[in-house]
Amino acid sequence: MDHSLGSLKKLNLRSLWTNEATELTPWLATDDNIAILGEALGLELEVENTEVAVGPYSADILAKDIGTDTYIVIENQLEKTNHDHLGKLITYASVLEASAIVWIASNFTDEHKKALDWLNDHTTEDVAFYGVALEVWQIDESKPAVRFNVICRPAEVIRQALISKSSDSLTENRKMQLEFWTAFREKLMASKKLPSVRLPRPRYWYDIPLGKSYIHLSCFFNTTANRIGVRVYISAKIAEAALSHFQDKKEDIEKEIGQKLEWDLHPNNRDKIIALRKSADVENRSRWPEYLDWMFEYTFKFRDSFGKRIRGVKFDSHDDSDESTE
C-alpha cells in the first residue's frame, strides 16, 4: 500500500477571482454556494438580490434567513478587512433593516475581529455579526476547494441570557411558553436533524424553516385554548398558488403524515394555514415529555412531506399580506 501523502497548500483568492463585484459575488450568489455558506453559519440562506443600491453605494448580496424570514447583508472582500467595509456593512444593515451582517474577507485583522465580537456582545439578540475568512485549499495539483472559516459569530449563551433576563417581567403564561420552547429546542438540537434552530421566545409559536421564502412550519403551544399543534404557514405572497399545489396532493400528504389535517384553517385570512392540532393540558408539566415527543414526531413528518413538495417549485407572489393567528 502506498502511504505517500499529498502536499496541502493555501491559494491566493485572486487565483480564482480577480474582481469582487463581477466574479466573487456572482459565484457566491448561486444556490449551491450560498447553501455552503449557510451551512457554515448555521443558517438557511436564500439570495434575494445582488449589488443592492444603498444611497451612492451597493451591498454585495442581500439574502434572507429562511428560518426567521429576516434579511441578511453579505459583503465580500478579496483582501484583508478594512475600516471602509466595516462602516459600509453597518450602513447597509441599518438601511436594509437586516438582522445579521456577514463580512467575508481573505483574512481579518485583530482589530476588526475584536470589533465584531464587541458588537455581538453589546447588541440585542435581534442582530448578529459574522466574520468569515474565505479560504481556498489545494492538494498537489487537485481542483481547489473552498472553505468558509467562521471566526466571529454571536455567542449563543449571551443571546440566551438576554432572553432570560427579559423574561423577568413576563406573565406566567409567557414564562411557561418560553420554558416549553426551550425544552423543544433542546430536543431539536439533540436530534441534529436541522442545520440550525432558532432561539426560543416567550410566545405561543415556534417557527422552523421549510427551505423556501414565504412558507415555513410553525409549531404552537396555546395556553389559552389548551392546544398544541404543527402547521404549515403560507404567506399571502404565495398563499393561493401554494395552497392549491398542496391540496392537489392532499391524499398523499395525509397518508405520509398519518393524520387528517385541517386545510385552510382560517379561510378569511390571506395568509393560509394547514394544521394538525391536539388538545393538551398545557399547565400540567408532568405531561410535557409526551407533548414534546408528539410535536417532535409530527414536526418532522410535516417537514418531510411538505418540504419535498416545494423543492424546485416557483410560486407566483403578491405584495399584500396579513398575519393570521391560532
**Three-class secondary structure of residue 223 per DSSP:** coil
User: Is 312 domain-assigned?
Assistant: no
- Cβ pair 190, 197 in contact under 8 A: no
CA-based nearest residue to 243, from 214, 274, 220 = 274
User: Is 82 domain-assigned?
Assistant: yes
* Interatomic CA distance for residues 221 and 205, integer angstroms: 6
Shared-domain flag, residues 254 and 267:
yes
3-state secondary structure 230-271: EEEEECCCCHHHHHHHHHCCHHHHHHHHCCCCEECCCCCCCC
Shared-domain flag, residues 58 and 150:
yes
Reading the block at residue 19, the C-alpha cell is: 474582481
pLDDT score, position 44: 75
Reading the block at residue 176, the C-alpha cell is: 411557561
Give residue 214's domain range. Answer: 158-307
User: Is 320 domain-assigned?
Assistant: no
Q: pLDDT digit of tens for each residue in the chain (326 aa)?
A: 566 788 889 999 999 999 999 999 999 999 889 988 988 887 778 899 999 988 888 899 999 887 666 889 999 999 999 999 999 888 988 888 888 899 999 999 999 999 999 998 887 667 889 999 999 999 988 889 999 999 998 876 555 555 555 555 678 888 899 899 999 999 999 998 887 777 788 889 998 888 777 888 999 999 989 999 999 999 888 998 999 999 999 999 999 999 999 998 888 888 999 999 999 999 999 999 999 999 999 999 999 999 999 887 878 665 443 344 45
Tell me the backbone φ, ψ of residue 109, rounded to 5 degrees: -70, 155
User: Is 149 domain-assigned?
Assistant: yes
* DSSP conformational letter for 200: P
Going 130 to 62 to 104 to 27, the CA torsion angle's sign is positive
- Cβ pair 326, 204 in contact under 8 A: yes
Shared-domain flag, residues 35 and 165:
no
Shared-domain flag, residues 294 and 192:
yes
Cβ burial, residue 262 (10 Å; 0-12/13-18/19+): middle
Please, where are the H alpha helices in the chain?
25-28, 31-41, 83-96, 110-122, 156-166, 172-191, 239-247, 250-257, 288-307
Shared-domain flag, residues 164 and 296:
yes
Q: What is the pTM of this model?
A: 0.60
Residue that the C-alpha cell 467575508 belongs to: 104
pLDDT score, position 7: 87
Provide the residue type at 209 as one letter. Answer: P
Cβ burial, residue 105 (10 Å; 0-12/13-18/19+): buried
Shared-domain flag, residues 243 and 286:
yes
Shared-domain flag, residues 140 and 220:
no
* Interatomic CA distance for residues 305 and 12, integer angstroms: 44
User: Is 190 domain-assigned?
Assistant: yes
- Cβ pair 326, 222 in contact under 8 A: yes
Shared-domain flag, residues 288 and 165:
yes
pLDDT score, position 319: 44
Domains held by the chain: number: 2
pLDDT score, position 325: 46
pLDDT score, position 321: 39
Shared-domain flag, residues 68 and 187:
no
User: Is 232 domain-assigned?
Assistant: yes
- Cβ pair 106, 77 in contact under 8 A: yes
